Amino acid sequence: MSQGDDLFTREDPIFTDKELLEISHLPDEGRIVGRDDEIKQLANAANPAIFGQSPSNVLIYGKTGTGKSLCAKYVTSRLVDTAEEEGVTVGTAYVDCAQDTTETQAAQTIAAALNDDELTGINIPDKGISTATYYKRLWSILDDTFDVVLIILDEIDKLEDDSILMQLSRAGEAGKIDSCKIGVVGISNKIKYKERMDERVKSSLCEREFVFPPYDAEQLGEIMQARSDAFREGVLEPSVVPKAAALAAREHGDARKAIDILRYAGEIAQSKGDSRVREEYVIQARERAETDRFRELIRGSTPHSRYVLQALTVLSMNDPDHEDGFRTSRIYELYEEICRQEASETLSLRRVRDLLKEHAFLDVIEQTRHSGGSAEGAYTQHKLLEDPEVIQQVLQPDVDAEQVVE
């Protein structure tokens, strides 16, 4: 290949450090915006670990993109360093429960994350051993290696059942481990998650609960500004960050979406061969971020949660002028129809109401109560906040709405 080969670009004209805009990137202290109180509270709960004692178990709630995972990871990583200075060995494991939904997968992930096979001589295979064996090896690893471990269970509501929570919260009491102490940090964006928990697990796991509020436009602006050195100097038009912040705040105060918008706007400039990231690219980037956000939201959600949303989506697509939304009873009828087509048992009306509430909490839909007058009684209407086309694309990319109602 000659030096003059112009097939590839040798220097990125837009980004200098794109990693700053990756969602998995853990910013340093100065770059975490508006979460001082939450970080302090989490640190308080974890603090006993510094003295080799049991940290409080914590449950963190909040809408998507409010910094729950970020703050949990940040606090645990600082804890490890401080404990080390005190001569205490703290280990941490992170489990994405949307990925590891079963007890066995979660136990495997925790054991693999904490195991140093050269030190312990223990092998944690990806699969092929029983859940009980994973646990046995995990307990040995903990006692051999650590004084304390902190286990972050992200999207904890996606776990199939509470078995692993029971095991982790009772390991000490049940004599499975001798000296190591375990702390669990559960993270969820389902408001009703706690109600579903086994009573015994609930009492030990929910020692402290924190709710992370959504960010406002100013905070989103700061979060993006703190990462603007991902771009080459002078590349960002000055209106880009405020515009992206305003869009993300208006919709859900979601930092993930704000950062995605910024990254996509840069990529759009790149693909157009433009040396500036312009405000108009922000608008296009927003649409892409919207689809991504929604895909992420329903990742790993139960089939019935999807059917309920599918029902409302079909109603909205077939009757776009229905501005006030649709009543629970109409959604339920269509939901029953979808269940029939999927050869699945229907859930009760009450459960479907709960699922609709969960979608409302995540700002996928909006609910309004109506008094209905004396003849009718009060009722609720539900309206999609996301574009129905986007939802349809993500839920069932190959099906068009008419097929479902026919």
Ligand X SMILES: Nc1ncnc2c1ncn2[C@@H]1O[C@H](COP(=O)(O)OP(=O)(O)OP(=O)(O)O)[C@@H](O)[C@H]1O
Point out which residues bind ligand X (CB under 6 A). 23, 27, 31-35, 62, 64-70, 189, 223, 255-256, 259
CB of 190 to ligand X, least distance (A): 10
Q: Are 269 and 14 in contact (CB under 8 A)?
A: yes
64 is in an annotated binding site: no
Residues 6+ apart with CB under 8 A from 292: 257, 260
Which residues in 88-162 belong to E strands, given as ranges?
A: 90-96, 148-154
Would you state the structure tokens that stand for residue 88, as one six-digit string? 């205490």
70 is in an annotated binding site: yes
227 is in an annotated binding site: yes
Q: Are 113 and 119 in contact (CB under 8 A)?
A: no
67 is in an annotated binding site: yes
CB of 155 to ligand X, least distance (A): 7
Complex with ligand X: residue 68 or 176, whichever CB lies closer = 68
Q: How many other C-beta atoms can be found within 10 angstroms of the C-beta atom of residue 327? A: 16
CB of 297 to ligand X, least distance (A): 7
257 is in an annotated binding site: no
**Residue written as tokens 């922000």?**
282
**Residue written as tokens 């993930």?**
256
Complex with ligand X: residue 37 or 345, whichever CB lies closer = 37
Q: List C-alpha distances in Å: 180 to 94, 117, 126, 185, 257.
A: 18, 18, 24, 17, 39
Complex with ligand X: residue 109 or 189, whichever CB lies closer = 189
Would you state the structure tokens that stand for residue 177, as one six-digit string? 């481990």
CB of 283 to ligand X, least distance (A): 21
Complex with ligand X: residue 33 or 45, whichever CB lies closer = 33
Complex with ligand X: residue 15 or 326, whichever CB lies closer = 15
CB hemisphere CA count around 230 (13 angstroms):
24
Please give the angle made by the CA atoms of 165, 168 and 171, to the nearest 5 degrees.
140
CB of 21 to ligand X, least distance (A): 8
175 is in an annotated binding site: no
Q: Are 314 and 341 in contact (CB under 8 A)?
A: no
Minimal CB distance to ligand X: which residue? 67
Complex with ligand X: residue 31 or 170, whichever CB lies closer = 31
10 is in an annotated binding site: no
Complex with ligand X: residue 265 or 339, whichever CB lies closer = 265
CB of 24 to ligand X, least distance (A): 7
CB of 43 to ligand X, least distance (A): 15
Cα 66 to the center of its chain, rounded Å:
9
How far is it, in rounded angstroms, from Cα 357 to Cα 380? 11
Q: How many other C-beta atoms can be found within 10 angstroms of the C-beta atom of residue 295? A: 13
Which residues are part of a known binding site for ATP?
66-70, 215, 227
Which residues are part of a known binding site?
66-70, 215, 227
